[in-house]
Amino acid sequence: MSRFFSDLVKNITPYVPGEQPKDRRFIKLNTNENPYPASAKVMAAIGSVTALEARLYPDPQVTEL
């Protein structure tokens, strides 16, 4: 597939996520995350996802892997 990419695409610098605060005293607003839990109706619709998982983007570093 890479043979179809132009040099411009081949040389794009990958995205590097910004600093992730470790202190839970801070409410992160820089990545559009919600500091409040999802409503009960939303959680019922989602099913097996926890309230914490529903309000945050996935780990950008994929540290669990």
For 19, phi then psi, to 5°, come to -60, 135
Note whether 38 and 46 are within 8 A (CB): yes
The sign one gets for the Cα dihedral 47, 51, 57, 63 is negative
At 35-61, the pLDDT tens digits run 788 888 888 877 877 878 878 888 888
pLDDT band at residue 1 under the 50/70/90 scheme: low
Give pLDDT tens digits for 2-34: 778 888 888 899 888 777 778 878 777 777 777
